[in-house]
Chains A and B, each alone.
Chain A
Amino acid sequence: LSAAPEIPKEDGRPKWDNKFQYILSCIGFAVGLGNVWRFPYLCQIHGGGAFLIPYFIALLFEGIPLLHLELALGQCLRKGSIGAWNTISPYLGGVGVGSWVVSVLVSLYYNTVLTWVMWYFINSFQEPLPWSVCPLNENRTGFNEECYESTAVNYFWYRKTLNITPDIAESGTLQWWLILCLATCWAIVYLCTIRGIETTGKAIYVTAIFPYLVLTIFLIQGLTLPGASDGLIYLFTPNLNTLKNPRVWLDAATQIFFSLSLAFGGLIAFASYNPTKNDCEKDAVTVAIVNSMTSLYASIPVFSVLGFKATTAYWDCLDRNIISIINEFDLPEESIMRQNYTSWISFLNSSYPEKIAGLKLKSCDLQEFLDQSVSGTGLAFIVFTQAIILMPGSQAWAILFFIMLFSLGLSSMFGNIEGVFTPLLELQILPKSTPKELLSGIICLISFLIALCFTLGSGSYWIDIFDRYAGSVPLLVIAFFEVIGVAYIYKIKRFSKDVEWMTGRKLNLYWHITWRFVSPLLLLTVFMAFVTLQMQKPPSYTAWNPKYEGFPMKEEKVYPPWVQAICVLLAALPCMCVPLVALFHLVKQKHRSKDPGFVPPEVFSCQGANS
C-alpha cells in the first residue's frame, strides 16, 4: 500500500509570512497618531517626567495584562472577535459584537483624520508653503481679515482645509477637495487591505518602519534648532506635586489603554492568524514596551520643535518691542539688542514713563510661550506647521512630517479594518465563492460613503464627538467584560492551561493576579472616574467663529440636545451589545431547552481542537 502524502493540519486560514510581520503589525496598530500628539501633551501638562510614574504603573497593571489576554485569546481560538467570544460562551458574544461596532465607528472617523494629513501632504509641494502667507483681500490693500487677525497657519487650517462653520448645528456644504482626499485615502486603505493580511503584511514593512526613520531625522534636526534645550528641559523637568491630582492617574490609565488599541478586536484578529504554538506572552510584553518606548522617543523631537517655536515667538515678541522703542525714541538701529533689552527698558521707564506706557509694549515671557500646550490636530496642523515654516528647507520637512503621520495612521487603520474584516469573513455573510477582494471593496466603499459626512463644514466637530464618545467609554466597558469573561466565565484555570500549552511554560503569578483582580478593579475604577468626570459639566466644544468678540480665541459653546443624544447613543451602542446578545441567547436557550432532543454544545478547549 502506498502511503498518502503527509497533509499538515490546514484549516485554510491565511497566516503570517513570518513572526516579524505579525509583531510589526501589532506594533503598527498600537503605535499611532496618539503616540505623537497625545503622549507629549500629557507629559507636558502633568508635570513632565513625573507623569512617567503613573504611566508605567498603568502599563504594568493594565496595559500588558490586557494585551496578553487578547493575543492569547486570538491565538488559541483562531477566530476574529465575534467568533472568538461566541466560542467562549454564547452569552459573551456581545463582547465581540461590541468590539466590531467600535472598530467600525473608529475606522470611519480615523480615516478622515488621515484625509487632513493627505491634504497637507499634497499642499507641501508648493513654494512658499500655502500656510506661511496670508492671502490678500479683494481690493489688495491689505491681507484677508480673518487671516490677519489670527495667523496664516490658523487660517489655512480652519478656512482653507476644513472651511469650518461657526456652530455644529450649521452643517455647511461638502468640501470637494476633502472628498477627493477622502476617496484617495480609502483607495489606499483598499489597496493595502484588499486580500486581508496577505497584503497588509507586505504594506506593514513600510508603514511601520518608516515613521521611526522620520522620527530619528526629526530628532537630529530638532536637537540642532535654537531653543530645543529649553523645550526639552521644560518637558522632562519632573514636578512631583502633580501626582496628588487624581486626574493625572486617570489620564495615564486611559492613555495607556487607548494607546495599545485594546478592545478593538483587531489584536484578536491578528493573533488568530498565528500558529497556535507561539509565545504570546513574550509578544505581548514586546509590543507593549515598544509602544511605550516609541511614545517617549517621539516626544523628544516634538518638544525640541516646540521649544524652538516658543523661543522664536519670544524673540519675535522682543524684536517687535525693540522696533517700537527705537522708532519712538529715534535711537540708532541695533542700539538695543535682545540681551540688553531689560536694562534699556528699566532705564527708559524711569526717564520717560509716559512714552513707554503709550507704546503699549507686550510683556515677553519665554515661560508663557512654552506653556501654550496643544494636543491632537492642533499640534500637528497648527503648531508644528508653524514651526516648519521657520526651519530652512521647509518643504522637505513638511513632506517628511506628513508622510510620517500618514504612515502612523495607516498602520493603525490596518488593525481597525482587520477588526471589521475578519469577523465578517467568518460570519460568511457573502457566499463562500466570492473573492475576499469583493468584501474588502464593499467595506471600503460603504465606509467612504458614510464618512462623507465628515467632509461637511461642521465635520471636524463631529470627529471630536466620535473621538470623545465612540472611542473611549465603550472600550473600557468591553475590556472590562473581556477580562471578567476570561477570568470568571471561561475560568482562569482552563485559560492558564491553554496559555501554558501555547507558550510551553507555566503561567506566572503576575498574570494570575492581574487577570483575576487587579485589571478588572483598575478598569472599573477608571470607568467610574471617567464617567463621573464627563458628567460633571455639560459637554461643550470650542468653535471657530470669526464674528466672535474674543476672536481669534475660540468660542466655548454647549452641544444642543440632539447632538448630546447622539453622543450618548455613540457611547451606549457598543456597550448595549453585551447585555442584548446575552439576553437574546437566554431567550433562545429557554426556547431550546423545552425541546427534548436538545444537546448542549460541547465545551470548547484550546488544546482539544488542535492536539
Chain B
Amino acid sequence: MLRALLLTLSVVSIAHAELCKPDAQNAFKVRISIKTALGDNAYAWDANEEYLFKAMVAFAMRRYSSKSTTQISNVLLCNVTDRVSFWFVVTDSSKNVTTVPGSEVEAAIRMNRNRINNAFLLSDKTLQFLKITSTLSPPVEPSTPVWLIVFGVVLCLIVAGIVFLIVSGIQKHKKKNKESTEREDLEEKVEVTLENGIPCEALDLKAGHINGVFAADDDRFTSL
C-alpha cells in the first residue's frame, strides 16, 4: 500500500517536473518586485505567497472558462529564484498530464489582471507576466482642455485692461478739450474788454487807474 502510494507520488512529481520547467510549452515566467513596489512595507515571498498565487491563477482560469474544474493543485510552480521569479503551468485535470494551452491562460490572466495585482498589492510593472502584455489605460482628458480655460481668463483680463485705458484716454481727451474750449471762451469774453492787459471794468477811464502801491502812501506826499 505504502509502496504504491510512493510510486504514484514519484510518478506524479516526475510528471510535474516534466510539465513545469523553464521554456516549457505553455509555461509562463513571472517576475515580482516586492521591494520596489512596497519599500519598507515589503513582505517576504514564501510558500504561503506561492499558495495565494496558485489560488489566484486557478480563480482566473475558473472565471475565464466558467467551468469550475481547475483546482489549486492544477497550477504548478517551479524554479523559484531569489529575484523573485518563477515559472508556472496550468495542468488540465480532465486530460492526463497535459497543460492548458498558453493562449487560454493568457486570456484568463489578462481578464483578471487587476484582481491578481491587487491580491499582492502590486501593479502591472512590479508583477510581470513576461509574455503577457497589458493594455494601457488612456490618460484622463477633461471635456474642455484646461489650457483653453486659462487662455480665456487671461484674454478677458487683457481686453478689460485695454478697454479701460482707451476709455480713460478718451475721457481725459474730452476733458482737456472741454477745458481748453472753456478757457478760450473766457479769454474771448475778456479779450473784448481788455486794455493793456487790464480789464476795462477796473479802469476808471476818466480818473485813470489808481495804483494801489502809491495810493497807500498818499499822506507822505505834500499836497500840491
Q: Which residues of A contact B (CB under 8 A)?
A: 1-2, 119, 122-123, 125-126, 133, 135-136, 140-143, 180-181, 184, 187-188, 190-191, 194-195, 199, 326-327, 330-334, 435, 437
Contacts and interface: CB of A to CB of B under 8 A. Distances in A.
Contacts of B151: 122, 180-181, 184
Contacts of A332: 82-84
Contacts of B155: 184, 187
Interface of B: 31, 33-36, 81-85, 133, 135-136, 138-139, 146-147, 150-151, 154-155, 158-159, 161-162, 165-166, 169-170, 173, 197
Contact of A326 (B83, B135, B139, B154): B83
A327 B138 CA distance: 28
A63 B150 CA distance: 41
Given A133-B139, A136-B138, A333-B35, A141 B133 contact: yes
Nearest to A433: B173
Given A435-B169, A435-B173, A330 B136 contact: no
A1 B158 contact: no
Nearest to B138: A136
A244 to B, nearest CB: 49
Contacts of B34: 333
A125 B33 contact: no
A133 B197 CA distance: 82
A126 B173 CA distance: 44
Given A187-B155, A187-B158, A191-B158, A122 B150 contact: yes
A329 B138 CA distance: 34
A188 B151 CA distance: 13
Nearest to A139: B135
Nearest to B130: A327
Most buried by A among B135, B147, B158: B147
B83 A330 contact: yes
Contacts of A123: 146-147
A437 B164 CA distance: 12
Contacts of B158: 184, 187-188, 191
Contacts of B138: 136, 140
Given A133-B139, A331-B83, A194 B165 contact: yes
Contacts of B135: 140-141
B154 A191 contact: no
A332 B33 CA distance: 9
Contacts of A2: 197
A331 B82 contact: yes
B166 A140 contact: no
A440 to B, nearest CB: 11
A410 to B, nearest CB: 12
Q: Tell me which of B83, B133, B136, B138 has the highest count of chain A C-beta atoms within 10 A of its own C-beta.
A: B83
6 contacts: A123-B147, A141-B135, A184-B155, A187-B155, A194-B169, A327-B31
Contacts of B169: 194-195, 435, 437
Contacts of B162: 187, 190-191, 194
A234 B66 CA distance: 64
B136 A126 contact: no
A125 B33 CA distance: 34
Contacts of A181: 151
A195 B167 CA distance: 13
Given A125-B150, A194-B162, A327-B83, 7 more contacts: A1-B197, A133-B139, A140-B136, A199-B165, A331-B82, A334-B35, A437-B166
B139 A135 contact: yes
A142 B159 contact: no
Contacts of B81: 330
Contacts of B150: 122, 125
Contact of A184 (B31, B82, B154, B170): B154
Given A122-B150, A180-B151, A333 B159 contact: no
A199 B136 CA distance: 53
B183 to A, nearest CB: 14
A513 B58 CA distance: 92
A234 B158 CA distance: 43
A140 B151 CA distance: 30
A384 to B, nearest CB: 19
B173 A125 contact: no
Given A142-B136, A184-B158, A122 B35 contact: no
A197 to B, nearest CB: 14
A111 B197 CA distance: 57
A142 B134 CA distance: 10
B174 to A, nearest CB: 11
A333 B166 contact: no
Contacts of B82: 330-332
A437 B33 CA distance: 67
Given A125-B146, A333-B34, A191 B85 contact: no
Contacts of A126: 146-147
Nearest to A399: B150
**Which 3 A-B residue pairs are closest in the complex by CB-CB distance?**
A330-B81, A332-B82, A122-B150
Given A187-B159, A191-B165, A437-B169, A333 B147 contact: no
Given A122-B151, A135-B139, A142-B136, A333 B165 contact: no
B147 A125 contact: yes
A207 to B, nearest CB: 14
Nearest to A181: B151
Nearest to B142: A126
A371 to B, nearest CB: 31
A190 B150 CA distance: 20
Contacts of A333: 33-36, 83-84
